[in-house]
Amino acid sequence: MDSSRNAVELRDVTIRLGRTTVQAGMDAEIGEGEFVAVLGPNGAGKSTLLKALLGLLRPAEGSIGVFGRSPKLGNRQIGYVPQFHSLESAMVLRSRDIVGFGLDGHRWGPGLGGKKRRERIDRALDEVDVLHLAEVPFGRLSGGERQRMILAQALLSEPSLLLLDEPLASLDIHHAQDIVSLVNRTCRGRGVTVLLVAHDVNPLLPFVDRIMYLANQRCRVGKPEEVITTDSLSALYGSRVEVVRSLGRLFVIGAEI
C-alpha cells in the first residue's frame, strides 16, 4: 500500500497501560477512505488504540502516524464518537445543542452563533435523518437516534478520519445494521476513513473493507474472509477457536468477540 495514501500507520507499536502490555509489535496500515472494523475481546486494546490515535496516550514503543504526522490533541482531521457512558451529563440538553459541540465544543467561552452555524447543524442533522428531532432533549431519544446525533456532531468539523467507539452497543441487530449502513453511506460519500470498534461482526460484514482483530496482545488485519476464520483466530488466540456460519451469520465459538 502506498504510504502517501494512508490515513493511519502503526509501526511496531507497543501499548502499555501501567505495567500491563495491551498490544505488542502492532503493524498495520489503513488507507484513506477505508472502512475498517476493530474487533476483539474486552481488554484487547480497541478503545485504547483510538485514544492513541487521538493523541490521548503515547505508545511505549514504535510509532503511530495519522495522515503522515504523529497524533496530537485537538486534531480537527479526526471525528470521534465516544461510548454512551461518557455522555450521561448531556442528557438534558437539546439534541441540536449536543450536535453543535462538533463546531465549538473545543472552544473556551461562548460558542459560535448566527445563521450559518444553525444551517451547518441542520445540514448535518438532515444528512443522518434526524433533523425532525433537533429540539428534543438528548435523553429522550432512542439508542439509535442518539447515535445518529453523535455521528452528526462528529461530522460537523468535516473530518478525514472518523473513530467510533462501540456505536452498536445495546442496539439490536436491525438498528445496528441501520447505523452501520448510515456510516457507510455518509462516509463513503465524503471519502472519510472509518475505524469502528464493535463486538459483533455480523452487522458490519456487508459494508467493511477490512477487519482489524486484536487479541492476546496481537493484531491481525485483513478482509473478513481472511481474518474471521477458524485457523486465523485460533492462531491469534493461541488456542482452538471455531468459526461457524449459520443462518447468514458468523458465530465465534471458544473465544470472546
pLDDT in tens, 240-249: 999 998 888 8
Averaged pLDDT, 122-143: 93
Q: In this predicted model, what pLDDT tens digit does every residue of 47-58 receive, in sequence order? A: 999 999 999 999
**Contact by Cβ (8 Å): 105, 157:** no
Asked whether residue 3 carries a pLDDT value surpassing 60, the answer given is: no
Strands 218-222 and 210-215, sheet pairing: antiparallel
Averaged pLDDT, 94-121: 74
Q: In this predicted model, what pLDDT tens digit does every residue of 9-19 receive, in sequence order? A: 999 999 999 99
Residue located via cell numbers 485460533: 234
Residue 2 has what pLDDT?
A: 47
Quick one: which of 180, 189, 128, 184 has its CA closest to 153?
Answer: 128
Residue 26 has what pLDDT?
A: 96
Residue 4 has what pLDDT?
A: 55
What 8-state DSSP symbol labels residue 224?
H
In CATH terms, is domain 1-77+159-257 a member of 3.40.190.10? no
Q: In this predicted model, what pLDDT tens digit does every residue of 27-48 receive, in sequence order? A: 999 999 999 999 999 999 999 9
Q: Which is more confidently placed, 60 or 86? A: 60
Quick one: which of 46, 35, 34, 28 has its CA closest to 204?
Answer: 35
Quick one: which of 57, 79, 81, 88 has its CA closest to 70?
Answer: 57
Q: Which is more confidently placed, 107 or 187? A: 187
**Contact by Cβ (8 Å): 102, 153:** yes
Classified as helix, coil or strand, 38 is: strand
Rounded distance between C-alpha atoms, residue 141 and residue 151, angstroms:
14
Classified as helix, coil or strand, 83 is: coil
Asked whether residue 162 carries a pLDDT value surpassing 90, the answer given is: yes
Number of neighbouring beta carbons within 10 Å of residue 19: 5
**pTM above 0.85?**
yes
Rounded distance between C-alpha atoms, residue 250 and residue 90, angstroms:
36
Strands 242-246 and 249-253, sheet pairing: antiparallel
Task: Give the start-to-end residue ranges of the domains of the chain.
Answer: 1-77+159-257, 85-158
Dihedral of alpha carbons 132, 137, 140, 142, sign = positive
Asked whether residue 101 carries a pLDDT value surpassing 60, the answer given is: yes
Q: In this predicted model, what pLDDT tens digit does every residue of 215-231 receive, in sequence order? A: 999 999 999 999 999 99
Asked whether residue 102 carries a pLDDT value surpassing 50, the answer given is: yes
Residues 6+ positions from 34 with CB-CB distance below 8 Å: 7, 193, 194, 209, 210
